[in-house]
Amino acid sequence: MLAPSCVRGGSGGGVCDGLRGVMHVLPTPQITALERGRKVEELQKRLVESEMLRTRYNRKVTLLKDQLRTISQSADQERTLNEHNHQILREELTTVKQSFMDCQRRENAVSWDSIWLPSLTME
C-alpha cells in the first residue's frame, strides 16, 4: 500500500523512491492484453478438452447403461426360465409321488391278498 505522504506529494522520501523502482515493471496495456489473450486461449483449450472428456464419458455411461439393461434382461429371462423349470419339476415330482403311493397301495393290496386268500381257500 502507498504511504499517504507519497500519494499527496509529501516528503515520504524513501518510500516514494522505492515505488519508482516498481513502477517501471508494471505491465503496459499491450502486455496486459496479450496476457489476457493467452489466458483466454488457455481457458478455451481447457474447455475443448473438458468437452471432449464429457463426450467420452457420456458415451461410456451410455454403453454401461446398455450393458446393464442387457444383463438385467438376461437375468430376468433366466429367472423366468428357472421358475418355469421349477414348476415343471414340482408337477413331475407330484405325479411321481402319486404313482409311488398308488404302487404302494397295490403292493399292500397284493400282500394282503396273498395272506388272506390262501387262508380263505383252506377253509
Q: How many domains does the chain have?
A: 1
Please indicate, yes or no, whether the overall pTM of this predicted structure exceeds 0.75.
Answer: no
Could you tell me the CA-to-CA distances from 13 to 1, 2, 93 in Å, in that order? 15, 12, 110
Q: Is the model more confident about 111 or about 72?
A: 72
27 — phi, psi (to 5°)?
Answer: -65, 145
Q: Which tens digit of pLDDT belongs to each residue from 75-96?
A: 999 999 999 999 999 999 999 9
- Parent domain of 113: 4-122
Q: Are 43 and 35 in contact (CB under 8 A)?
A: no
Q: Which tens digit of pLDDT belongs to each residue from 9-53?
A: 555 555 455 555 555 555 687 888 889 999 999 999 999 999 999
